[in-house]
Amino acid sequence: MHTIEELRAMIKAELERQEYVGEPRSLYEPIIYMLEDGGKRLRPLLALLAYNLYRDDVEKALKPAIGIEIFHNYTLLHDDVMDDASLRRGRPTVHKRWNSNVAILSGDAAAVTAYKCIEHCDDKYLRRGIDGFNQVALDVCRGQQYDMEFESRDDVTEEEYLKMIYLKTSVLIAGSLRHGALIAGAPENEYMTLYEFGGHLGQAFQLQDDYLDVYGDVREFGKNIGGDIVTNKKTYMLIKALELAEGSAREELLGWIARKEFVPAEKIAAVTRIYDRLGIAGVARQKIDYYIEKSFETLERIQVKQAFRATFMEVIRELVGRKK
Amino acid sequence: MHTIEELRAMIKAELERQEYVGEPRSLYEPIIYMLEDGGKRLRPLLALLAYNLYRDDVEKALKPAIGIEIFHNYTLLHDDVMDDASLRRGRPTVHKRWNSNVAILSGDAAAVTAYKCIEHCDDKYLRRGIDGFNQVALDVCRGQQYDMEFESRDDVTEEEYLKMIYLKTSVLIAGSLRHGALIAGAPENEYMTLYEFGGHLGQAFQLQDDYLDVYGDVREFGKNIGGDIVTNKKTYMLIKALELAEGSAREELLGWIARKEFVPAEKIAAVTRIYDRLGIAGVARQKIDYYIEKSFETLERIQVKQAFRATFMEVIRELVGRKK
């Protein structure tokens, strides 16, 4: 059984081999650029961990695992164009460094490249593997569509929001686990249970991200605090605040949302004070804990060896045990 | 054996069933919009014709056939954003009617939808079907990349140009024929020969398009004459003219290319006169005839029944026998 560090090293080495790169190289440069900036490699790691539950020869799952990472980066490439984001993990986004056309086309090439890698599996798993991956890929598009539609709405419900982040973020995390287990020959009930586990984990992960934007430690969070507040991003925090705020708190919150000119630090401080008054931190922590609990419960349903359970716990801790 | 009209009617009916549409509908509206404006349905038609060479139950190939049409429209959706095109078949492009984000995201969803449809085949053909389709999809991206890079170059060679249009246009036409034959159980040498046939046909088709922009009849061509000349598009005509022009003709041509302000009709007339002097029409016709000849020769190599040959000839005539 492999440790997280070993698996991460294998993923890194496989990505650095750049076997996925074709001609012309200019088409692949933005993909290489996206992939070289690191990140947690969460999705390929989960795919390999799930594979390793059933088989030891994890090197056989490396191509599909990096295919999932390439797919993830393709969605980031296109999302950054749609959000007109300037920075990604501290570096200029592809459409800023090159231009939008490059980001669109190299993203398209990355999507096909991802499919090519993911399909490295025994023929007997191919149909289910592709069907599963198509479903994940469409769900991610659906989630992004809802996210864009929510931008112009002030009445997004908690339920709608949870569904959106499930589609946009959790499904790929779930699908990574499912794919790894599938191509290792796991029984159907187990790879579906791992999918469920990943769904809960993804929800906890995304809600934690929303929470840390307000209450995180900038050094540990890796991005500036309050970015979501400045841009009125419809996070779990804002949606719950809009749901719970009454009277003057509501007026003040809506006032900050409507204001076109403001000092960012002042808006962040004021909105955070409103969140404090409403107890949003506690509400969010409760929801995060709910999903962590659900993920643990789901994991109980599969025959996981004790050592594996410890490794999964380590991933969960790393993901959702970040500085509160 | 089905006639072209019958097959087109089946394709139309299958598209109108909209079985490919999922939730939220807003994600699929731009795809429906793209698909409802008609077009020749060349690619699904060729897929069905190739299938029909080996099997009568063409209804079984309908889903993959419309998958190929959806794929084609996905590439148009993203190309229109990259080219900032305003009109497509006489109607506003998706990014003009909605916006770029809609075109990018619905395009992404269309690509996955295409994969889902194309994979409707017996398991025994799945691996080769997907591998073939991944290759086609990447080649289309490669062609688009070369096309974008050619925009800023004045020294594109004929060879480079022919490779670019092969990747961008011909490969999908070739792949449509190959996929139809593959999933009908054609022997490998025959579905590969149909791929080769489609490649030559695609080249003739694209070169004809370049030719008609200069020498076409506006009523039959369906778009305005001279559009490529106005925008300095690197067509076969322009590339050959740049290769052949010397002295004053070369100076005049480069002058028109460099000019920022001009009356479109004057530029079209002047550049067409240069083409006339250089005999570009004859050069282009010769190249088109070369590819038509090659496509005929290739078709001879497969066991095609006489009736089928007549049908293929009808398609070829429709494609490349347009008003000269």
| B20, B23, B95, B101, best to mutate vs chain A, most A CBs in 10 Å | B101
Which whole number is the average pLDDT over B18-47? 94
Q: How confident is the model at residue B218, as a pLDDT?
A: 67
| Residue given tokens 């643990």 in the structure block | A296
- The two three-digit tokens of residue A12, written as one number: 């890194």
Residue at A268: amino acid letter: I
Tell me the average pLDDT across A94-106.
97
Q: Which residues does B222 contact at the CB level (< 8 Å), separation at least 6?
A: B89
Q: Where does the pLDDT of residue A314 fall: very low under 50, low under 70, confident under 90, or very high at 90 and above?
A: confident
Q: In 3-state terms, what secondary structure has residue A237?
A: helix
Q: Which residues of B touch A134 (CB under 8 A)?
A: 112, 115-116, 119
Q: Judge whether B22 is closer than 8 Å to chain A, CB to CB.
A: yes
Among the listed residues A73, A86, A144, the one whose alpha carbon sits nearest the alpha carbon of residue A114: A73
Residue B130 and residue A115: Cβ atoms within 8 Å?
yes
Query: What integer pLDDT is reported at residue A324 of this predicted model?
Result: 36
Q: What's the average model confidence in pLDDT over A6-32?
A: 96
Identity of the residue in A23, A26, A142 whose CB atom sits nearest the CB atom of B149: A26
Q: How far is B295 from chain A (nearest CA, A)?
A: 27
Residues 6+ apart with CB under 8 A from B27: A141, A142, A145, B105, B106, B109
Burial class for B128, CB neighbours closer than 10 Å (0-12, 13-18, 19+): middle
pLDDT in tens, A159-192: 999 999 999 999 999 999 999 999 999 999 999 9
pLDDT at A1 exceeding the cut of 50: yes
Instruction: Quick: pLDDT tens for A190-225.
Output: 999 999 999 999 999 999 999 999 998 766 655 668
The residue whose two tokens read 């007997």 is A124
Query: Is A115 near chain B, with CB under 8 Å?
Result: yes
**B198 vs chain A: nearest CA distance in angstroms?**
22
Total of domains in chain B: 1
Write out the two tokens for A67: 């295919």
Which structural domain range is residue B253 located in? 4-320
Higher-confidence position of B206 and B301: B206
B28 in contact with A at a CB cutoff of 8 Å? no
| A141 part of contact set with chain B, CB < 8 Å | yes
> Which residues of chain B have a CB within 8 Å of the CB of A148?
101, 105
Q: Which residue has the tokens 């398609």?
A: B315
CB pairs under 8 A between A and B: 105
Looking at residue B323, its pLDDT comes to: 42
> Would the pLDDT of B149 be above 80?
yes
Is the distance from CB of B44 to CB of B69 less than 8 angstroms?
Answer: yes
Give the SS3 label for residue A153: coil
Question: Could you tell me how far CA B78 lies from the centroid of its own chain?
Answer: 15
Q: What is the spatial distance between Cα B183 and Cα B121, in angstroms, rounded to a whole number?
A: 6
Cβ of A145 within 8 Å of Cβ of B105? The answer is yes
Chain A residue closest in CA terms to B124? A123
CA dist A28 and B100 (Å) reads 23
pLDDT reported for residue B166: 98
Could you tell me what percent of chain A has a pLDDT over 90?
83
Average pLDDT, chain A: 93
Residue A199, token pair as written in the block: 């769904």
Element (H, E) at B275: helix B264-278
State the pairing for strand pair B91-92/A91-92: unpaired
What's the CATH number where B102 sits? 1.10.600.10
Place of tokens 């490295």: A120
Write out pLDDT tens, residues B249-299.
Answer: 999 999 999 999 999 999 999 999 999 999 999 999 999 999 999 998 998
pLDDT-based confidence at residue A323 (cuts at 50, 70, 90): very low
Q: Which of A150-154, B77-81, B96-100, B232-236 has the lowest mean pLDDT?
A: A150-154
For position A320, what pLDDT does the model report?
Answer: 78
Angstroms from B171 CA to nearest CA on chain A: 15
Answering whether pTM is above 0.90, one says yes
How many CB atoms sit inside 10 A of residue A97's CB? 14
